[in-house]
Amino acid sequence: MINRSHELAISQQAKLLGISRGSVYYQPRPISEDDLALMRRIDQLHLEYPFMGARMLRDQLVREEKPVGRSRVGTLMKRMGIEAVYQKPKTSKKHSGHAVYPYLLRGMNISRANQVWALDTTYIPMAKGFVYLTAVVDWASRKMLAAKVAITLEACHAVDVLNEAFARHGTPEIINTDQGSQFSALEFVETVKSHGCRLSMDGRGAWRDNIFVERLWRTVKYEQVYLHAYNSVSEARRSIRRYFDWYNGARPHSGLNRRTPDEVYYATLPALNLAA
């Protein structure tokens, strides 16, 4: 995608492609075996106990005979892109330079496909290192509409996966995200609005708003990610893609009356979206 021999400067190529110049030169920083092991365990604990912050996670790790300080846990959590899930004060405070949109789903009856899509990003451990997975999920059917594995947390990856979902499945009425910088960035917001969708954002750290997606990540990780030690980014992409194909077409859900996401999605898809 980037041509280093092109007469156009690399910074200009990156700008045209909607990616940061830093990601062009990105080289994974070596991470110690100890830190990788801690990050994997922190990820597991976060799925089980999403309300745990750095202090509580530190205490839990110490009880498991993994001596670590609160500051180190906090640093690893930031690197992983996770935070404790609970209602915090001043949830309406805006990110510097980014707009924050109200949560639109409270009290809403979400019962059909392409009514609401949810986007989120999660940490994926590998044998040596880690990557991030961003996915678009149809709220009513639990169908994974599009996903992307990337090595950085940037708005361009969220835009890529959203555009893929638009191209394959049409457009929803509402797109719901958290207040992460990749979702509040102007590039992402403009992509949502240009397709006529309304943008909804979880209250920062409010577990009631994003518990649905947190449960999906738990399913993906325990049924696929934690069973494999991916040796490369390409291997992680192939494995997760295969899992999503199976998840959509063959995995029944108790919350869907034992139907699969594909069955519910196509059964409740409005006629207007069938031609999309």
Mean pLDDT by 10 residues, the chain (276 residues): 59 58 54 89 90 93 93 92 65 53 91 95 92 95 96 93 97 93 92 97 64 84 93 95 97 93 94 50
pLDDT of residue 261: 96
For residue 18, the model assigns a pLDDT of 53
Q: Which 3 state secondary structure label does DSSP give 76?
A: helix
- Retrieve residue 230's tokens: 């991916």
pLDDT confidence of residue 212 = 73
| Angle at CA of residue 48, ends 47 and 51, nearest 5° | 85
pTM of the model: 0.78
Give dist(CA 231, CA 161) in Å, integer.
23
What's the pLDDT at 187? 94
Domains, the chain, with CATH or none:
10-80 (no CATH), 116-274 (3.30.420.10)
pLDDT of residue 274: 44
Query: What's the confidence (pLDDT) of residue 21?
Result: 55
Supply the pLDDT for residue 95. Answer: 47
Token duo for residue 106: 């409270």
Tell me which residue of 18, 58, 21 sits closest to 41, measured CA to CA: 58
Q: How far apart are CA 51 and CA 58, in angstroms?
A: 13
| Sign of the alpha-carbon torsion through 237, 242, 245, 247 | negative
Residue 161 burial (CB count, 10 A)? 22
Q: What pLDDT was estimated at residue 33? A: 87
